[in-house]
């Protein structure tokens, strides 16, 4: 039996990776390094890293039997309390390994869930994380988990409420239902808040965790948002106003960063937090170009956007942290020709921020349109609809009615032109 430790004593972790058919040695090293950052972020000490080459994982124990034995000795010798695998384990594999080693076993998803649980601040984030944790944990409930849940703290046992863990599956299922209902309520409230909000151009920052999204948010909006050199500094969505170069106000949202092998339960339950990105007019994809694996990061982000069904939204690609590379770096040269539309910035040093703002305006205008209506004075009630459909650029009393000029997304424009056909003010007249 593992001994009950004081919560302030950090877990002593061993990380395990598998070099299988579809990975290269470099990829594995990069993944394990990222896992190490994650495990450290979760508050554990990393004492050893081990990997095994195998064409496919072992069904029962993921790594081979011999490796299980070898690691058992290491675990005892180093006083390891937690083993973290870089890939997803089946509930049965977790059970078998925990039985063999008598320490807690987690996979990447488990660690990410733990970090999210630690960082969640708002009610919405807390509900989302607890929901994801319970769904992840339900099939993995085992003797060791239930035993460990009696101690306070410790990785893998936090978050879902220490009381829930020691109860049985039936209680967990009931809790899941309760949380799902609660989340539905929160989603409805959020939607209502959004409806009440004025209709402004909406931009959403997306990107791999630690890419510099929050730093850019600060640079663009002068908002005081949390910036930290750690993974998942931001969990909640912040929305702030800023001004496009033309002077018109717009909204920018900053949200949770993406990561490879993000637990699907987490993406599902963070849908409401990600709603700002899902409903934005333009996405701003921030890439940390100084990271050696930035190309894989870009791929992960694209895949995550695809899961959210927003991969085809107009997107401005932003290569950040250029201050970390020499100006004549071959990477930058390559990227400039590969992505001629991208903007190269340093959010921290404020380099090329104005250029980025100009690009945001151009891209937004590229998929929105300007419309004008003359509303007869007897039809002024329609003004409200126009106001919520787009951004009012001009309002002027003419002899025949009220001239209203607005900019709105193309799809909305098409609808408005159909609906209020007789009040449309011809575009040609407008410029005259």
Summarize as ranges the residues that interact with Mg ion (CB under 5 A). Answer: 213-214, 233-234
- What is the closest distance, in whole angstroms, from the C-beta atom of residue 208 to Mg ion in the complex? 11
Closest CB to ligand GTP among residues 85, 232: 232
Closest CB to ligand GTP among residues 144, 233: 233
- What is the closest distance, in whole angstroms, from the C-beta atom of residue 220 to ligand GTP in the complex? 12
**Should residue 213 be labelled a site residue for ligand GTP when binding is judged by CB under 6 A?**
yes
- The C-alpha atoms of residue 16 and residue 336 are separated, in whole angstroms, by 38
**Should residue 332 be labelled a site residue for ligand GTP when binding is judged by CB under 6 A?**
no
Q: Which does 36 bind (CB under 5 to 8 A by kind): ligand GTP, Mg ion, none?
A: none
- What is the closest distance, in whole angstroms, from the C-beta atom of residue 234 to Mg ion in the complex? 3
- The C-alpha atoms of residue 150 and residue 127 are separated, in whole angstroms, by 22
Q: Which does 375 bind (CB under 5 to 8 A by kind): ligand GTP, Mg ion, none?
A: none
- Single out the segment in contact with ligand GTP by CB under 6 A; choices: 119-127, 209-217, 311-319, 383-391: 209-217
How many residues form the binding site for ligand GTP (CB under 6 A)? 23
- The C-alpha atoms of residue 222 and residue 213 are separated, in whole angstroms, by 13
**Should residue 157 be labelled a site residue for ligand GTP when binding is judged by CB under 6 A?**
no
Positions 288 through 327 that interact with ligand GTP (CB under 6 A): 320-321, 323-324
- What is the closest distance, in whole angstroms, from the C-beta atom of residue 245 to ligand GTP in the complex? 21
DSSP one-letter string for 229-293: SSTT---S-EEEEEE-TTS-EEEEEE-PPB-TT--HHHHHHTTTTTHHHHT-SEEEEEEETTSTT
**Should residue 257 be labelled a site residue for ligand GTP when binding is judged by CB under 6 A?**
yes
186-213 burial, b for 16+ CB within 10 Å, e for fewer? Answer: beeebeeeeeeeebbbbbbbbbbbbbbb
- The C-alpha atoms of residue 430 and residue 121 are separated, in whole angstroms, by 50
269-285 burial, b for 16+ CB within 10 Å, e for fewer? Answer: bbebbbbbbbebbbbbb
Q: Are 281 and 367 in contact (CB under 8 A)?
A: yes
Q: Are 151 and 289 in contact (CB under 8 A)?
A: no
Q: Are 106 and 84 in contact (CB under 8 A)?
A: yes
**Should residue 348 be labelled a site residue for ligand GTP when binding is judged by CB under 6 A?**
yes
- What is the closest distance, in whole angstroms, from the C-beta atom of residue 231 to ligand GTP in the complex? 5
> Which of 3, 22, 229, 338: binder of ligand GTP (CB under 6 A)?
229
Q: Which does 210 bind (CB under 5 to 8 A by kind): ligand GTP, Mg ion, none?
A: ligand GTP
Quick one: 420 exposed, middle or buried, by C-beta within 10 A (0-12, 13-18, 19+)? middle
**Should residue 159 be labelled a site residue for ligand GTP when binding is judged by CB under 6 A?**
no
- Strand-pairing partners, residue 52, are 18
Closest CB to ligand GTP among residues 116, 232: 232
Positions 179 through 208 that interact with ligand GTP (CB under 6 A): 207
Taking CB positions, which residue lies at the least distance from ligand GTP?
Answer: 257
At residue 44's C-alpha, the angle toward residues 38 and 48, to 5°, is: 85
> Which of 164, 215, 272, 391: binder of ligand GTP (CB under 6 A)?
215
- The C-alpha atoms of residue 92 and residue 62 are separated, in whole angstroms, by 10
- What is the closest distance, in whole angstroms, from the C-beta atom of residue 114 to ligand GTP in the complex? 15
Checking 212-215 for CB contacts under 8 A at 24+ apart, the result is 212/286, 212/288, 212/320, 212/321, 212/347, 212/348, 213/254, 213/255, 213/257, 213/286, 214/254, 215/320, 215/347, 215/348
- Single out the segment in contact with ligand GTP by CB under 6 A; choices: 123-131, 213-221, 404-412, 416-424: 213-221
Residues 353-392: x/- map of binding to ligand GTP (CB under 6 A)?
----------------------------------------
Q: Which does 231 bind (CB under 5 to 8 A by kind): Mg ion, ligand GTP, none?
A: ligand GTP
Rg for the chain, CA atoms, rounded: 26
At residue 265's C-alpha, the angle toward residues 262 and 270, to 5°, is: 85
Closest CB to ligand GTP among residues 106, 262: 262
Name the residues that contact ligand GTP, by CB under 6 A: 207, 209-215, 227-229, 231-234, 257, 320-321, 323-324, 346-348
């Amino acid at each position: 039996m593992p001994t009950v430790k004081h919560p302030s004593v950090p877990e002593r972790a061993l990380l395990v990776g598998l070099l299988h058919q579809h990975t290269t040695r470099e990829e594995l090293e990069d993944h394990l390094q990222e896992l190490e950052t994650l495990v450290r972020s979760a508050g554990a000490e990393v004492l050893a890293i081990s990997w095994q080459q195998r064409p496919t994982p072992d069904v029962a124990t993921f790594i081979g039997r011999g490796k299980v034995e070898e690691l058992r000795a290491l675990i005892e010798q180093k006083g390891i309390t937690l083993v973290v695998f870089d890939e997803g384990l089946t509930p049965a594999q977790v059970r078998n390994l925990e039985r063999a080693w008598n320490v807690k076993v987690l996979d990447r998803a488990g660690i990410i869930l733990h970090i999210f649980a630690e960082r969640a601040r708002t009610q919405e984030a807390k509900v989302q994380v607890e929901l994801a944790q319970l769904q992840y944990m339900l099939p993995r409930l085992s003797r060791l988990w239930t035993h460990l849940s009696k101690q306070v703290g410790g990785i893998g046992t936090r978050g879902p409420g220490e009381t829930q863990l020691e109860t049985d599956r039936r209680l967990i299922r009931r809790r899941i239902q309760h949380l799902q209902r609660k989340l539905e309520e929160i989603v409805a409230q959020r939607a209502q808040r959004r409806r009440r909000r004025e209709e402004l151009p909406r931009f959403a920052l997306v990107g791999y965790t630690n890419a510099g999204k929050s730093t850019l948010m600060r640079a663009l909006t002068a908002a005081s948002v949390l910036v930290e050199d750690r993974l998942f500094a931001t969990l909640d969505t912040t929305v702030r106003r800023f001004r496009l170069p033309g002077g018109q106000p717009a909204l920018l949202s900053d949200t949770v960063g993406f990561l490879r092998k993000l637990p699907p339960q987490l993406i599902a339950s963070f849908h409401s937090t990600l709603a700002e990105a899902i409903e934005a007019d333009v996405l701003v994809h921030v890439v940390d170009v100084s990271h050696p694996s930035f190309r894989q990061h870009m791929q992960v982000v694209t895949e995550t956007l695809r899961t959210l069904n927003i991969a085809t939204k107009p997107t401005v690609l932003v290569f950040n942290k250029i201050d970390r590379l020499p100006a004549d770096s071959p990477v930058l040269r390559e990227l400039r020709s590969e992505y001629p539309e991208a903007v190269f910035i340093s959010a921290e040093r404020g380099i090329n921020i104005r250029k980025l703002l100009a690009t945001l305006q151009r891209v937004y205008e590229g998929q929105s349109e300007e419309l004008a209506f003359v509303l007869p004075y007897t039809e002024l009630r329609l003004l409200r609809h126009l106001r919520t459909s787009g951004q009012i650029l001009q309002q002027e009393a003419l002899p025949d009615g009220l001239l209203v000029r607005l900019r709105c997304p193309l799809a909305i424009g098409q609808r408005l032109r159909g609906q209020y056909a007789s009040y449309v003010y011809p575009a040609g007249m407008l410029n005259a």
